[in-house]
Amino acid sequence: MGFSSINMYTGGIFGLLYSAGPVAKVVVAILLVFSIISWTIMLLKLKQFSKTEKEGERFIKTIREIDSFKRLVTVYRGNPDNSFYRLMLSSYKEITTRQKENPEIKPETIPHVENILKITITEESERLERKLSFLATTANTAPFIGLFGTVWGIMDSFREIGIRGTTSLAVVAPGISEALIATAIGLATAIPAVLAYNYFIGRLKRILSKMENASIYILNILGK
Amino acid sequence: MREETWYKMLIVSTILHFFFIGMFSIPIKKASRRIDLSSSYSVNLVGDMGGVFKGQQENGLSEGRDLPVKQGPVTKKERLPAKRKNAPVRKEKEAVSLSKHKILEKETTTKEELSRLEERIREIKKKTNYFDITQAKRTGGSSSGLRPGVSGSGLPVSSGGGARPLDPVSQKYILDVWEKIKDTWGLPGITSSKQPLETVVTIKIRKDGRIVDINIEKRSGNRIYDESILRALRTVELSPIPASLNTDMIEIGFRFLPGDVS
């Protein structure tokens, strides 16, 4: 099919877009960029969250079986790019800086470690939450951006009716059809973003509660 | 998060998008047939030469109807009220066609709809001077030297200035217009369709030769075919209406058949 022969009846979505006005084209382009970025974030977060959750389960399983912190550090060699490993690492650093080479963990160190664990959990939560806000933004704004394109297109259609002086469907329908595609794409962008955002927020809560559990386990081991 | 993962996912996401857009473009193409206007909304103004129109042609059709044509230069603002005046006329056309469709396509319209439409036709006939454009066509067609009923001839019909029989000047002008449109009209390469393609379009030509209104009265059912006609009508450059016709606006109906272009 030659480029010139594309029209709204034959070219499917491409045809509709091709015959749409410039505003609709810009709107659709913006929505497409939003959609691509939000899907990128979804894929990234899916990978990141799955990995973190798996590591968390492994970490808690390991920590239950081990009775000393030193052994935990030596036995558990996780990926440095892992939230649970960082949890352990931060407490370990805190202990070593406070007690130097002293092998015995003093009871007064424990509140400091507890604070450090809290800080680490907050940091990790912030790290995991990063870019999720874009999904929320997409979910909230994409329908409105689409709606803007539609309203503009329908305005054009009505002007066309005025100019041609006819209200026949043949005159009105193509314009409205072109206009509505903006809303359709807006919704197609927003719906996955909403679903993904809620899903990831739920998953994030689970991960954070696991991290809190892990920090309690660490404190328990330190108290032994 | 590592940068390379980010890029990788971005590429994956982009590919996914193009894949889905490509997939969605196929069903829409097929479903677009359903958007086709129902036959009761299309107007068969200058359709068949015989058959359906016989009854109406035998009726007394000498009553004239003057198009409300605005005098003086037609600016965009001024044109709008003029269009509004046209509205009843348009309704009449539509209604006439609806009654035809009653005969043609009983299966598509319900009885209830028909009775309502008939009532409307009667109402409109009362309000306006009833005029059947096919009468003008018959007169114009036979006297212009064109073989009437020639297959593929999109005989033009004029209602400019009322129902008076077409004088040679306007006949010549209309034929000239038709020739120009035919020259501009390029048939799309999809004419292997099984159904006979016939599109009826009425255009309004302003004094200076500009087409100010294009109305598809009957669709062929093939959108590409219809589009090609509309494209031709949008691009064609017509000569101004001869001054001797003494009219500001002329309305002509054309029947486009694939045989017109060869």
Tens digit of pLDDT for each residue in A7-17? 545 556 666 77
User: Which pLDDT band, with edges at 50, 70 and 90, does B1 fall under?
Assistant: low
Q: Are the C-beta atoms of A153 and A175 separated by less than 8 Å?
A: yes
A33 in a structural domain: yes
pLDDT at A30: 95
Which of A1, A7, A16, A189 to mutate to probe the B interface, most B CBs <10 Å? A7
Residue A32 has pLDDT above 90, yes or no: yes
Dihedral sign computed on CA atoms, order B18, B23, B28, B33: positive
| Beta-ladder partners of B218 | B200
Q: Are the C-beta atoms of B136 and B155 separated by less than 8 Å?
A: no
The domain tally of chain A equals 1
Burial A189-217 (b: 16+ CB within 10 A, else e): bbebbbebbeebeebbeebbebbeebbeb
Q: Are the C-beta atoms of B258 and B187 separated by less than 8 Å?
A: yes
Query: CB atoms < 10 A from the CB of A9, how many?
Result: 21
Residue B66 has pLDDT above 50, yes or no: no
Taking the CA of residue A154 and the nearest CA in chain B, the distance in Å comes to 18
Question: What's the burial of B94, exposed, middle or buried (CB within 10 Å: 0-12/13-18/19+)?
Answer: buried
Query: 3-class DSSP state for residue B125?
Result: helix
Residue B199 has pLDDT above 50, yes or no: yes
Which of A4, A5, A18 to mutate to probe the B interface, most B CBs <10 Å? A5
Q: Please provide the DSSP assignment of chain A as one string.
A: --GGG--TTTSHHHHHHHHS-HHHHHHHHHHHHHHHHHHHHHHHHHHHHHHHHHHHHHHHHHHHH---HHHHHHH----TT-HHHHHHHHHHHHHHHHHTT--SPPTTHHHHHHHHHHHHHHHHHHHHHTTHHHHHHHHHHHHHHHHHHHHHHHHHHHHHHHHHT---HHHHHHHHHHHHHHHHHHHHHHHHHHHHHHHHHHHHHHHHHHHHHHHHHHHHHHH-
Residue A201 has pLDDT above 80, yes or no: yes
Per-residue pLDDT, averaged over B110-115, amounts to 76
Most confident of A65-79, A131-145, B15-29, B91-105: A131-145
CB B13 to CB A169 under 8 A? no
DSSP letter, residue B34: G
A79 in a structural domain: yes
- Higher confidence at residue B109 or residue A115? A115
In chain B, pLDDT over 70 holds for what percent of residues? 45
A16 in a structural domain: no
User: Which pLDDT band, with edges at 50, 70 and 90, does A133 fall under?
Assistant: very high
Which chain B residues touch A34 with a CB distance below 8 Å?
none
User: Which pLDDT band, with edges at 50, 70 and 90, does B137 fall under?
Assistant: very low
Per-residue pLDDT, averaged over B154-160, amounts to 43
CB B41 to CB A163 under 8 A? no
pLDDT at A78: 57
User: Which pLDDT band, with edges at 50, 70 and 90, does A70 fall under?
Assistant: confident
Taking the CA of residue A107 and the nearest CA in chain B, the distance in Å comes to 36
What is d(CA B132, CA B53) in angstroms, rounded to the nearest whole number?
A: 9
Which chain B residues touch A81 with a CB distance below 8 Å?
2
CB A12 to CB B25 under 8 A? yes
User: Which pLDDT band, with edges at 50, 70 and 90, does A203 fall under?
Assistant: very high
Cα atoms in the 13 Å half-sphere on the side-chain side of A138: 32
Residue B159 has pLDDT above 80, yes or no: no
Residue A147 has pLDDT above 70, yes or no: yes
Q: Are the C-beta atoms of B219 and B234 separated by less than 8 Å?
A: no
Per-residue pLDDT, averaged over B202-208, amounts to 84
A67 in a structural domain: yes
Q: Are the C-beta atoms of B209 and B241 separated by less than 8 Å?
A: yes
Residue A108 domain boundaries: 21-223
Which chain A residues touch B216 with a CB distance below 8 Å?
168, 170
Q: Nearest-CA neighbor of B67 among B170, B165, B160, B171?
A: B160
* Long-range contacts of residues B106-113, Cβ cutoff 8 Å, at least 24 apart: B108/B38, B108/B39, B108/B40, B109/B39, B109/B40, B113/B40
Six-digit token pair at B154? 């999109």
Residue A199 has pLDDT above 90, yes or no: yes
Average pLDDT over all residues of chain B: 63
CB B13 to CB A40 under 8 A? yes
pLDDT at A76: 65
Six-digit token pair at A131? 């870019």
